[in-house]
């Protein structure tokens, strides 16, 4: 359809079409920062922060919701913010926000992202010293110009310089879980080695790592110890430590070499349940839980419940919980798995006893996407199969790249036939030996730029499993890449849509796909949606996986292994599924191959 563009309205609207959920979330967060510096009502600030977070984790596209007049259905978005979002979507900016931005230099907003510099500090340094950027902040601190201000001293300057240093050290705000988890486990191991036998009675990694969030802000370690002091000292002097941010009687913070911050908290045994709950979060879950407690007449903190006098218990009565589950039960809730604690309906479900029976890693009976030296893998098919068997799998699909992905020397029909002979030979050997394991013939077929596939249909039809993925042209415009993806999904031979958005966490943005349309098409055609378990991908993510199941899709959790150790990432994929409220029944590769085959699209084999 073509339309005359007779003024700049059309151009603006064309530009506005490129506004993404992420853009809106960033804008709302920026407004929250500015409002903080301007010392606005703190609840107004929180409202913008909440709205930003809701938009950021939204599964549906804002443009769609706007067109349907449903912006206010987003949690934390009322009339005011809905109107602002609508204005941003159509015009690319919001008049009211532009006025706010004009009041505070962008560099001052950046300053509040320096650790230990908050809105109050940034505002004073800006207004009293004329500091308007992080660079100027560093210069002022180095020149000793900050200590002259009332309430600041030499240590304040050092703290600011250290904050700038730490901010520069970390390449991004959050660390990928695939990097953070081994680092955290290493800290725990080193800590245990350096304290006396029995000094640590209980220990758990809490925080976003316990919730298996895809990126980790910092690591929270919770400990019960009769002798906290030596534990604290050992923690502060671990070999991994590059900086000690603080050390008190019950709380210490350190920074590791790559900038990851680790907090250690020591609590008494009777506080364990409340403390573990508290430090596991999320903040949003905790706020909702405390509100629920207040309605029942109890104030909740990291130690206990204390009666407010509003309920039946006398004011000041205190309840302690040695286990987390007892705390949840006291509030009338089933225990909630950490992965669900994001305030996405889990508290209501726990109250109604309708929480899902979440999938676990040992439910996985085989995988439907992995590579070998036939394309860009580092191990032979036989080696990969042995690794799969060692993990207790009953089947593993050899899905090397097809032609159409130049750099990895993908398989054409002839090489695929040659590969089939190798697979058949291995399968025959196991069958003769009575081994309950089989390799599946598969392909990771390239979705070409127009939505056609890297191999012809008649070749795909012979295979057990066809995974279709996009590896290039990821930056195509929304309508183009969506149509391309839909065409592949509608191919009757495509069983699984591989790593749909193509994102690489922290380094490559997801494609601008209309995921609602893609997932709906997967549901309609019976195309299985992959959760790619590689921690740099985790694609689809928890939000889309949950939406996929809501729309009626089946999922597959695949490691996309390129080496024998590549199957070790399975827990990350399972965690995405758990965060998406997924049960074993939603995931095809929790079943035997005979059952999986019946669920796949192409039934002509």
Partner DNA sequence: GCCGTTTTCGGCCCGACTGTTTTCAGTCG
* C-alpha closest to that of 416 among 382, 368, 460, 457: 460
Q: Show the site string, 503-542: x = touches DNA by CB under 7 A, - = not.
A: ----------------------------------------
Other residues' Cβ atoms within 10 Å of the Cβ of residue 185? 13
**Which one of residues 128, 291, 436, 550 is an interface residue with DNA (CB under 7 A)?**
291
Query: In 3-state terms, what secondary structure has residue 244?
Result: strand
Cβ atoms within 10 Å, residue 392? 11
By CB under 7 A, residue 220 contacts DNA:
yes
Using CB under 7 A, pick the residue from 63, 169, 170, 290 that binds DNA. Answer: 290
DSSP structure class, residue 369:
E
DSSP code for 149: S
DSSP states of 426-454: HHHHHHHHT---EEEEEEEEEB-TTS-BS
Residue 217 within binding range of DNA, rule CB under 7 A: yes
Under the binding rule (CB under 7 A), the answer on residue 301 touching DNA is yes
Residue 558's region, left for phi above 0, alpha for psi from -120 to 50, else beta, is: beta
Query: Could you tell me if 498 and 569 are in contact, meaning their C-beta atoms sit under 8 angstroms apart?
Result: no
Quote the CA–CA distance of 499 and 463 in Å, as a whole number: 20
The enclosing H or E element of 219 equals strand 218-224
Mask for 63-82, x = binds DNA (CB under 7 A): ---------x--xxxxxxxx
Beta bridge partners of 63: none
Q: How far is the CB of 206 from DNA (least distance, A)?
A: 9
Footprint of DNA on 108-167 (CB under 7 A): 112, 114-122, 147, 150-156, 159
Count other C-beta atoms under 10 Å from residue 371's C-beta.
24
CA angle 298, 302, 304 (to 5 degrees): 45
Between 288 and 413, CB nearer to DNA:
288
Give CA–CA dist 181/254, Å, rounded.
16
How far is residue 481's CA from residue 475's CA, in Å, rounded to a whole number? 8
Beta carbon of residue 53, minimum distance to DNA (angstroms, whole number): 12
**Considering beta carbons, is residue 281 or 498 the nearer one to DNA?**
281
Question: Which residue, among 368, 401, 602, 604, has the nearest Cα to 493 in the 3D structure?
Answer: 602
Out of 99, 193, 249, 594, name the contact with DNA by CB under 7 A. 249
> Considering only CA atoms, which of 387, 367, 381 is closest in space to residue 416?
381
| 154 vs 425 by CB, closer to DNA | 154
Residues 303-342 that bind DNA (CB under 7 A): 303, 310
Residues in the chain: 605
Choose between 76 and 473: whose C-beta lies nearer to DNA: 76
Give the whole-angstrom CA distance, residue 228 versus residue 95.
54
Q: Is 233 in the site for DNA (CB under 7 A)?
A: no
CB-count burial class (<10 Å; 0-12, 13-18, 19+) for 91: middle
Binding residue for DNA (CB under 7 A) from 24, 30, 47, 538? 47
3, 43, 198, 316: which one binds DNA (CB under 7 A): 43
- Write down the least CB distance from residue 541 to DNA, Å: 23
Q: What is the C-alpha separation between 535 and 311, in angstroms, rounded?
A: 46
Compare residues 294 and 413 and give the one whose CB is closer to DNA. 294
540 prior amide bond cis, ω within 30: yes
Query: Which lies closer to DNA via its Cβ, residue 58 or residue 470?
Result: 58
Closest separation in Å from C-beta 152 to DNA: 5
Q: Which stretch binds DNA (CB under 7 A): 241-249, 315-323, 380-388, 551-559?
A: 241-249
Residues 6+ apart with CB under 8 A from 9: none
- Binding flag, residue 207, DNA (CB under 7 A): yes
Closer residue to DNA (CB): 269 or 392: 269
Query: By rule CB under 7 A, what count of residues binds DNA?
Result: 62
Query: Of 81 and 543, which has the nearer Cβ to DNA?
Result: 81
- Min. distance of Cβ 466 from DNA in angstroms? 43
Strand 202-205 relative to strand 218-224: parallel, antiparallel, unpaired? antiparallel
Residue 313 CB-half CA count within 13 A? 16
Report yes or no: 211 and 254 within 8 Å, Cβ to Cβ: no
Residue 44 or 391 with smaller CB distance to DNA? 44
**Rounded to the nearest whole angstrom, what is the least distance from the CB of residue 573 to DNA in the complex?**
26
CB of 429 to DNA, least distance (A): 54
Binding mask 265-284 for DNA (x = CB under 7 A): --------------x---x-
Q: Given the complex with DNA, which of 125 and 540 has the nearer CB atom?
A: 125
Give 490's strand partners.
none
Closest contact distance (angstroms) between CB of 546 and DNA is: 19
Preceding omega of 4 cis (within 30 degrees of 0):
no
Interface residue with DNA, options 26, 129, 294, 420 (CB under 7 A): 294
Q: Does 246 bind DNA (CB under 7 A)?
A: yes
Complex with DNA: residue 33 or 539, whichever CB lies closer: 33
CA nearest to 273, candidates 314, 241, 319, 212 = 319
Closer residue to DNA, CB minimum distance, 249 or 458: 249
To DNA, the closest distance from the beta carbon of 417 in angstroms equals 56
By beta-carbon proximity to DNA, the closer residue of 22 and 147 is 147
Q: Report the residue from 192, 295, 475, 603 that binds DNA according to the rule CB under 7 A.
A: 295
Residues of the shown chain interacting with DNA in the complex, contacts defined by CB under 7 A:
41, 43-44, 46-48, 50-51, 72, 75-82, 112, 114-122, 147, 150-156, 159, 207, 217-218, 220, 246-251, 261, 263, 279, 283, 286-287, 290-291, 294-295, 299-303, 310
């Amino acid at each position: 359809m073509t339309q005359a563009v007779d003024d700049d309205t059309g151009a603006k609207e064309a530009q506005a079409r490129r506004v993404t959920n992420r853009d809106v979330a960033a804008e709302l967060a920026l407004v929250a920062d500015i409002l903080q510096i301007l010392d606005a009502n703190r609840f107004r600030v929180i409202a913008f922060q909440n709205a930003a977070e809701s938009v950021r984790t939204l599964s549906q596209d804002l443009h769609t919701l706007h067109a349907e007049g449903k912006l206010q259905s987003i949690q934390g978005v009322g009339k005011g913010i809905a109107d602002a979002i609508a204005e941003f979507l159509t015009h690319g900016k919001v008049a009211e926000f532009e006025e706010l931005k004009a009041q505070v230099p962008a560099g001052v907003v950046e300053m509040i992202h320096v650790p230990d510099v908050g809105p109050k500090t940034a505002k004073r340094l800006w207004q009293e010293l004329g500091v308007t950027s992080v660079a100027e902040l560093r210069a002022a601190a180095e020149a000793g110009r900050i200590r002259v201000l009332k309430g600041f001293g030499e240590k304040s300057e050092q703290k600011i310089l250290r904050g700038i240093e730490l901010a520069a050290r970390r390449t991004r705000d959050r660390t990928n879980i695939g990097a953070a988890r081994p680092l955290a486990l290493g800290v725990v191991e080193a800590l245990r080695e350096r304290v006396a036998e029995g000094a640590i009675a209980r220990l758990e990694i809490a925080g976003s790592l316990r919730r298996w969030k895809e990126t980790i802000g910092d690591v929270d370690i919770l400990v019960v110890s009769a002798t906290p002091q030596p534990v604290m000292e050992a923690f502060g002097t671990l070999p991994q430590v590059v900086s000690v941010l603080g050390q008190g009687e019950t709380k210490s913070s350190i920074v590791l070499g790559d900038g990851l911050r680790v907090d250690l908290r020591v609590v008494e045994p009777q506080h364990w349940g409340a403390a573990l709950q508290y430090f596991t979060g999320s903040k949003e879950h905790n706020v909702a839980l405390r509100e629920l407690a207040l309605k029942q007449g109890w104030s909740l903190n990291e130690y206990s419940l204390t009666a407010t006098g509003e309920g039946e218990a006398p004011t000041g009565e205190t309840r302690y919980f040695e286990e987390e589950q007892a705390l949840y039960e006291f509030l009338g809730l089933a225990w909630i798995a950490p992965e669900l604690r994001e305030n996405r309906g889990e508290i209501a479900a726990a109250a109604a006893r309708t929480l899902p029976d979440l999938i676990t890693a040992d439910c996985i009976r085989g995988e439907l996407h992995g590579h070998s030296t036939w394309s860009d893998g580092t191990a032979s098919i036989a080696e990969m199969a042995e690794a799969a068997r060692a993990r207790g799998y009953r089947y593993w699909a050899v899905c090397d790249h097809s032609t159409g992905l130049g750099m990895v020397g993908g398989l054409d029909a002839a090489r695929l036939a040659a590969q089939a002979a190798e697979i058949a030979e291995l399968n025959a050997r196991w069958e003769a030996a009575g081994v309950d394991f089989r390799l599946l013939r598969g392909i990771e077929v390239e979705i070409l730029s127009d939505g056609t596939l890297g191999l012809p249909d008649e070749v795909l039809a012979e295979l057990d499993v066809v995974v279709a993925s996009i590896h290039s042209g990821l930056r195509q415009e929304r309508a183009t890449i969506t149509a391309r993806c839909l065409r592949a999904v509608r191919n009757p031979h495509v069983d699984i849509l591989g790593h749909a958005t193509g994102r690489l966490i922290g380094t490559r943005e997801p494609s601008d796909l209309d995921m609602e349309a893609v997932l709906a098409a997967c549901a309609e055609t019976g195309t299985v949606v992959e959760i790619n378990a590689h921690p740099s991908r985790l694609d689809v993510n928890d939000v889309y996986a949950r939406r996929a199941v809501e729309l009626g899709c089946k999922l597959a959790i695949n490691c996309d292994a390129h080496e024998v150790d590549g199957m070790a990432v399975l827990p990350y994929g399972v965690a995405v599924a758990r965060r998406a409220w997924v049960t074993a029944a939603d995931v095809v590769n929790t079943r035997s191959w005979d059952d999986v085959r019946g669920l796949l699209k192409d039934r002509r084999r």
